[in-house]
């Protein structure tokens, strides 16, 4: 099982995060650019399980994202056929050790330690994409902390669509049944703290519950 993640897929978040991590390379908001991909570890948290804040960094940020699960093996998938390769969708959280990421970026090093530590991917309950009241390319989602909305997004604001991401990722990775693609986070990321409760929604479907310990 692979967890493939997409960075900077919402323009507002790209503008938000650039000064935070000190990233100085060009953004991906221009036509003709390609998605930014990275991978996570294979130990995702399931809904109902807590996220224990590690001790190797001082700030851990939530990044809520729409996640799709691959349902069949594929390689070099044409974008027009990409929708055939996933059936289920959920909301997930890409936890990021932000201060560690800042240090790594400043040294020109990969983000691996800040992004792929155990439990850094949290997943809600899966649902059939055909059961959504919205087209998957017009899907609203949000993250609440202690019943207050902290992040809202809509897949129509993606720089690269879900089908484009599936197709692009398949150029580099053999996509297998059970693999997951985190499709990017909108603006509004921020730190989590012990004692908080996170809930994630696709439309009005509450799919994720997570305590911070």
> For residue 81, how many other CB atoms are within 10 A of its CB?
12
In the chain, domain spans: 3-212
Please report, rounded to a whole number, the percentage of residues in the chain having pLDDT higher than 70.
93
Per-residue pLDDT reduced to its tens digit, 73-127: 999 999 999 999 999 999 999 999 999 999 999 999 998 999 999 999 999 999 9
Per-residue pLDDT reduced to its tens digit, 2-49: 999 999 899 877 777 766 666 544 444 444 589 999 999 888 888 889
Place of tokens 């609440």: 144
The Cα 28–Cα 9 span in angstroms is: 8
Please report, rounded to a whole number, the percentage of residues in the chain having pLDDT higher than 90.
82
CATH top-level class of 3-212? alpha beta
DSSP string, 166-180: HHHHHHHS-B-TT-E
pLDDT of 130 above 80: yes
SS3 labels along 53-75:
CCCCCCCEEECEEEEEEECCCEC
């Amino acid at each position: 099982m692979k967890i493939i993640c997409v960075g900077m897929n919402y323009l507002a978040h790209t503008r938000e995060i650039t000064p935070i991590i000190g990233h100085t390379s060009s953004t991906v908001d221009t036509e003709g650019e390609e998605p930014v991909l990275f991978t996570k570890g294979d130990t995702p948290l399931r809904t109902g399980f807590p996220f224990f804040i590690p001790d190797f960094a001082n700030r851990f940020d939530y990044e809520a994202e729409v996640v799709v699960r691959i349902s069949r093996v594929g390689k070099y998938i044409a974008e027009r056929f990409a929708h055939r390769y996933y059936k289920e969708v959920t909301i997930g959280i890409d936890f990021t050790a932000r201060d560690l990421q800042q240090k790594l970026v400043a040294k020109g090093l990969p983000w691996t330690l800040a992004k792929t530590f155990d439990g850094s991917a949290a997943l809600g309950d899966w649902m059939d994409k055909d059961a959504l009241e919205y087209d998957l390319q017009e899907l609203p989602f949000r993250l609440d902390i202690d019943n207050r909305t902290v992040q809202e997004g809509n897949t129509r604001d993606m720089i690269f669509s879900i089908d484009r991401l599936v197709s692009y990722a398949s150029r580099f990775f053999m996509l297998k049944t059970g693999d997951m693609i985190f499709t990017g986070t909108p603006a509004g990321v921020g730190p989590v703290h012990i004692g908080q409760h996170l809930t994630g929604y696709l439309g009005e479907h509450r799919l994720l519950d997570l305590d911070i310990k």
